[in-house]
């Protein structure tokens, strides 16, 4: 009886947990970033490996996006109060962005990051190819990756950072710099340049923001409201923000673009620099014939929405357009605080309640208003429905406009546009996504306790004294090796190099494609002339008991030919590099993981050295056939073919007798 009860409770618990897991998986993240600034060629791709497009200001940034800057370009990404800025010739991947986590990966280039909210620290993390960086307290830092091959540099301007690499930890405090390369770490004073000064000026503007009094700083895009509008208090709606520079016929959700962002669906990207927070949070109202944005109550964690609009139209609603005559139409209008948001994507009731917490349920006023309300009539924008059937971005400004008669509005069906052709569900692809961290050898997670750092090295640590030394770089296509005191200038083509490296890593993971290409190209040369010796290799195994001394030579001949080459390569990489300190017992295994990249150059010499051993073995193998004719099975065929040899042997046998 007790066993059955325990099983029943266990099954019930599994059902409850699985239901909760499905509910959590169904809800999209409540936190989404944005492209706050794009100077020069800046591109963004929806996922790593996808085709990149030009990044627009206010473009949403979420998990698995990859942002790349070209020569002379800079960009800024905002996620609530956290700012991420990229210098020229840089590539940043958003590994994970949800309600609790913000994980970034700097593939190459320079990134300046500032975390202002202590609640964000637990889920913040930035990785490079050789290190993982976490902030222990709010602050700002800069990370450079691959400006010098195989090197990551961390400059901490404010706060405390924890740098992890291959199981070891290093605490870097404000005003200090850490340079991580292979098994060597060097520290020194921070070094600033123009990129750091530019980032500091952007941070100073955020510190003077007055909008944080009315909305939380975790509302992405709040920092743009001060310079583009004014705040006022309203007895009915609470705090209201009004844009100061807009056209006379301007209306919300009219000057911008529609784009499909999975899993939310159709998402609004406004053209105004301030057009992010007012179009993904809160509602719009008309006060004294003027549009005003009502953010609602100030809460610490607002929930992001793709667009707070009401949809009308569809195939059953046709209007006359300025171009193309009458055809099916699709329209939308901004939601007011009295309107509830109806999503076109899947989410739980609890998630929907968080979005509609500011909406007022006033059925009486809604029946009275209908389409006579100013915000619906004046805020309605209509374009041909066929615009939403295409892939890409829909520029509302360039789309044909319709003349909507007043009698057509009350009968307009509330139908949202369908997904464009080729749209994909990001949540369905999340489980099939390539695990890049595991393939690249992501550093293992360690205890972030400060006591586990390098306190034991402070007594005899000479890293501060060595900060002026140049860092010798192993043979690599980098022209200026040395200590990264300042980031190297942007180099054209770094993006192509990174993509080529990614392509090679994917080819190495596939067992079939790489072997017919490169490995087969190295092995066939020795294998082609060796068809004769290869069948003769099994025979030495048979006479093992008789000529035992002959086994060590073949076993020792092939192995020493490979080991000396590998040791020489290791000796070259550590030449003139000063003191080296291994971080842990397993650190010595890392170079072996990268050995497959060196053998193509080191394997080329062994082929000419391989034939000599085979020539030496040839006479040894020729001696072995002498005892083989002795068996009865081999002796009968040999006498008829080699009669002279047989007669000599017979004569020799008679003399012995």
Q: Which domain holds residue 238?
A: 220-427
Residues 389 and 457 in one domain: no
Q: What is the pLDDT of residue 15?
A: 61
Note whether 75 and 69 are within 8 A (CB). yes
Residues 248 and 306 in one domain: yes
Residues 6+ apart with CB under 8 A from 231: 210, 211, 214, 225, 239, 240, 241
Tokens of 156: 């901490």
Residues 400 and 450 in one domain: no
pLDDT 10s digits, 195-229: 999 999 999 988 889 999 999 999 999 999 999 99
Residues 6+ apart with CB under 8 A from 562: 606
Q: Does the pLDDT value for residue 581 go beyond 70?
A: no
Q: Taken in order 253, 256, 260, 261, is the CA torsion positive or negative?
A: negative
Q: Does the pLDDT value for residue 121 go beyond 60?
A: yes
Residues 366 and 497 in one domain: no
pLDDT 10s digits, 134-174: 999 999 999 999 999 999 999 999 999 999 988 789 999 99
Residues 313 and 351 in one domain: yes
Give the residue-averaged pLDDT of 318-336. Answer: 88
Q: What is the pLDDT of residue 18?
A: 54
Q: What is the pLDDT of residue 182?
A: 81
Last residue of a domain, one of 475, 493, 512: 512
Residues 370 and 227 in one domain: yes
Note whether 139 and 158 are within 8 A (CB). yes
pLDDT 10s digits, 474-499: 333 333 333 333 334 444 456 666 66
Tokens of 331: 């329209």
Q: Does the pLDDT value for residue 273 go beyond 60?
A: yes
Q: What is the pLDDT of residue 511?
A: 55
Q: Does the pLDDT value for residue 618 go beyond 80?
A: no
Of the pLDDT bands very low, low, confident and very high (cuts 50, 70, 90), residue 543 is very low
The strand pairing partners of 160, in sequence order, are 173
Residues 446 and 319 in one domain: no
Answer yes or no: is 612 within a domain: no
Indicate the number of domains in the chain.
Answer: 2
> What CATH number is associated with residue 461?
2.60.120.1440
Give the residue-averaged pLDDT of 454-461. Answer: 36
Residues 6+ apart with CB under 8 A from 74: 37, 39, 40, 42, 85, 86, 87, 88, 195, 198
Residue by residue, DSSP assigns 3-27 as HHHHHHHHHHHHHHHHHHHHHHHHS
pTM: 0.65
Answer yes or no: is 554 within a domain: no
Last residue of a domain, one of 467, 489, 512: 512
Q: What is the pLDDT of residue 13?
A: 66
Percent of the chain with pLDDT strictly greater than 90: 40
Q: Does the pLDDT value for residue 338 go beyond 80?
A: yes
Q: What is the pLDDT of residue 415?
A: 85
Q: What is the pLDDT of residue 507?
A: 67
Write down the residue that tokens 């609603």 correspond to.
317
Q: Does the pLDDT value for residue 501 go beyond 90?
A: no
Q: Does the pLDDT value for residue 554 go beyond 80?
A: no
Answer yes or no: is 571 within a domain: no
**φ, ψ for residue 446, nearest 5 deg:** -130, 170
Q: Which of 187-191, 355-359, 629-633 has the lowest mean pLDDT?
A: 629-633
Last residue of a domain, one of 497, 512, 527: 512
Residues 266 and 353 in one domain: yes
Gap between the Cα atoms of 359 and 376, Å rounded: 16
Give the residue-averaged pLDDT of 351-363. Answer: 72
Residues 201 and 240 in one domain: no
Per the model's pLDDT, the better-predicted residue between 425 and 490 turns out to be 425
């Amino acid at each position: 009886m007790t066993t059955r009860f325990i099983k029943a409770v266990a099954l019930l618990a599994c059902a409850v947990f699985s239901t909760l897991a499905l509910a959590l998986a169904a809800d999209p993240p409540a936190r989404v970033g944005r492209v706050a600034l794009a100077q020069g060629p800046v591109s963004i791709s929806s996922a790593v490996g996808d085709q990149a497009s030009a990044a627009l200001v206010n473009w949403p940034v979420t998990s698995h996006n990859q942002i790349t800057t070209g020569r002379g370009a800079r960009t800024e990404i905002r996620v609530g109060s956290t700012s991420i800025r990229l210098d020229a010739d840089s590539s940043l991947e958003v590994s994970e962005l949800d309600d609790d986590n913000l994980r970034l990966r700097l593939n190459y280039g320079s990134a300046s990051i500032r975390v202002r909210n202590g609640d964000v620290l637990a889920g913040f993390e930035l990785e490079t190819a050789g290190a993982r960086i976490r902030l222990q307290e709010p602050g700002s830092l800069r990370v450079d990756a691959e400006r010098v091959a195989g090197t990551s540099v961390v400059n901490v301007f404010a706060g405390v950072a924890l740098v992890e690499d291959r199981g070891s930890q290093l605490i870097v405090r404000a005003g200090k710099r850490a340079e991580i390369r292979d098994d060597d770490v060097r520290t020194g004073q921070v070094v600033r340049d123009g990129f750091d000064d530019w980032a500091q000026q952007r941070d100073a503007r955020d510190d003077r923001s007055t909008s944080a009094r009315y909305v939380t700083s975790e509302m992405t895009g709040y920092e743009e409201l001060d310079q583009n509008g004014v705040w006022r208090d309203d007895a009915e709606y609470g705090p209201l923000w009004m844009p100061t520079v807009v056209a006379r016929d301007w209306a919300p959700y009219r000057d911008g673009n529609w784009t499909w962002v999975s899993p939310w669906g159709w998402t609004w990207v406004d053209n105004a620099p301030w057009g992010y927070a007012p179009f993904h949070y809160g509602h719009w109202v008309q006060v004294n014939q003027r549009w005003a944005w009502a953010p609602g109550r100030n809460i610490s964690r607002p929930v992001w929405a793709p667009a707070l609009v009401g949809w009308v139209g569809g195939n059953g609603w046709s209007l006359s357009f300025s171009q193309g005559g009458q055809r099916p139409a699709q329209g939308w209008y901004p939601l007011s605080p009295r309107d509830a948001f109806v999503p076109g994507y899947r989410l739980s009731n609890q998630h929907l309640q968080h979005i509609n917490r500011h909406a007022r349920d006033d059925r009486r006023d809604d029946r009275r208003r209908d389409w006579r309300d100013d915000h619906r009539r004046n805020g309605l924008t209509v374009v041909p429905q066929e615009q939403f059937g295409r892939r890409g971005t829909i520029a509302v400004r360039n789309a044909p406009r319709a003349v909507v008669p007043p009698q057509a509005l009350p009968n307009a069906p509330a139908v949202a546009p369908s997904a464009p052709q080729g749209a994909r569900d990001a949540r369905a692809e999340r489980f099939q996504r390539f695990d890049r961290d595991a393939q690249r050898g992501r550093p293992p997670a360690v205890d972030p306790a400060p006591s586990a750092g390098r306190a034991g090295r402070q007594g005899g640590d000479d890293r501060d004294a060595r900060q002026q030394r140049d860092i010798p770089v192993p043979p690599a296509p980098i022209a200026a090796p040395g200590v990264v005191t300042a980031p190297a200038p942007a180099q054209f083509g770094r993006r192509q190099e990174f993509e080529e490296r990614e392509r090679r890593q994917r080819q190495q993971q596939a067992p079939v494609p790489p072997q017919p290409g490169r490995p087969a190209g190295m092995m066939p040369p020795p294998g082609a002339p060796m068809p004769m010796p290869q069948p003769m290799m099994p025979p030495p195994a048979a006479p093992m008991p008789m000529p035992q001394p002959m086994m060590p030579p073949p076993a020792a001949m092939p192995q020493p030919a490979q080991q000396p080459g590998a040791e020489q390569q290791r000796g070259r990489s550590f030449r003139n590099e000063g003191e080296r300190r291994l971080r842990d017992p397993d650190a010595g295994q890392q170079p072996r993981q990268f050995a497959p990249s060196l053998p193509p150059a080191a394997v080329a010499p062994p082929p000419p050295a391989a034939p000599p051993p085979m020539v030496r073995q040839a006479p040894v193998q020729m001696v072995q056939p002498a005892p083989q004719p002795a068996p009865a099975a081999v002796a009968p065929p040999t006498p008829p073919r080699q009669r002279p040899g047989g007669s000599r042997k017979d004569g020799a046998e008679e003399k012995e007798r």
